[in-house]
Copies of this chain bind each other. A is one copy, B any other.
Amino acid sequence: MMSVKIEIICVGNELLIGKTLNTNAQWLAKRAISLGVTVRRITVVGDDVEEIASAVREALERKPRFIITTGGLGPTFDDKTLDGIAKALNRSLELNTKALQMVKEKYEAYAKAGRLDSAELTPYRIKMAKLPDGADPLPNPVGTAPGVRLKADGTEIIALPGVPAEMEAIFEGSVADMLRKEAGTLAFFEASIYADGIMESTLAPLIDLTMRDNPYIYIKSHPRGEEKRPCIEIHFSTTAENSKTAKDRLGKAIIQLSELIREKGGKVKTFKSL
């Protein structure tokens, strides 16, 4: 039951100065997991060709099935993701005719709708159609910059824009099916219970015991209050071929751990209202 591994690389100075909360990484991780693949690493780098190239190179060395990047596909000088990917792969950026057609149609539609004086393909607009050699554009239903897809040995690199609505639209339109196909029939299942009146250090050996008895279940505790007034979320997860197997496994582990917690004087609830 080897799961398919992917990596996420988020590009943008705004993430490194804390201006922007990285909701893209969370959204992608959640979607990827729900499609049955595993996210191995998330890397955030700034708008710098060398930094992007080194993050891509390092990720490629770990041989994930997919690398998904977000950000840096737009028309401005600091949109450098494709430059960075090309550099990592020793490829050149080439004007891609399919991508150019996509960009052209967008600007023509904007001009027609009166939102633009001119649909002229300025160098800044053409920039969005310059892809690493061998890449294919992915249609952007929401914005102007196409997504990008290219192969590098056994890894598929997918570059998505940083604007969440555009990133999500391209993912759903072009990427989700690729991941689903690779994942096969495996899917991810999870459930949480909430424990009160027990400290995390008292809970720790009980989790160990439950995990030993339930080899396909991963359990992680998340303290939600202060340790002085402990409320602990206990998160159970598993990857399984179908939801029946997953539910059976999760149920068995939850019952076992809940009983152990009650023996130690703790209270267990399955809802957050605890």
Provide the residues of chain B in CB contact with A77, threshold 8 Å.
204, 207-208, 211
Interface membership of chain A positions 184-208, coded 1 if the CB is closer than 8 angstroms to chain B and 0 otherwise:
0000101000000001111111011
Whether A122 sits at the interface, judged by CB under 8 Å, is: yes
Question: What are the residues of chain B within 8 A of A33 when measuring CB–CB?
Answer: 17-18
Task: Give a binary string over A153-192; 1 marks a CB under 8 Å from any B CB, 0 the rest.
Answer: 0000000000101000000000000000000000010100
Assess the B201–A125 pair: CB atoms within 8 A: yes
The residues of B that contact A14 with a CB separation of less than 8 Å are 220, 222, 235
CA–CA, A229 and B115, complex, Å: 8
Are A204 and B18 in contact (CB-based, < 8 A)? no
Give, as a whole number of angstroms, the nearest-CB distance from A215 to chain B.
14
Main secondary structure of the interface of A (DSSP, over half): mixed
Q: Within the complex, what minimum Cβ distance (angstroms) separates A160 from chain B?
A: 14
A17 near B29 (CB under 8 angstroms)? yes
The interface centre, meaning the residue of A18, A22, A165, A237 with most chain B CB atoms within 10 A of its CB, is A18
Q: List 22 A-B contacts (CB under 8 A).
A: A14-B222, A15-B25, A17-B33, A18-B25, A18-B30, A25-B44, A47-B220, A58-B58, A74-B223, A75-B200, A76-B208, A76-B221, A77-B208, A77-B211, A113-B228, A115-B228, A117-B265, A122-B202, A124-B201, A143-B223, A163-B223, A165-B226
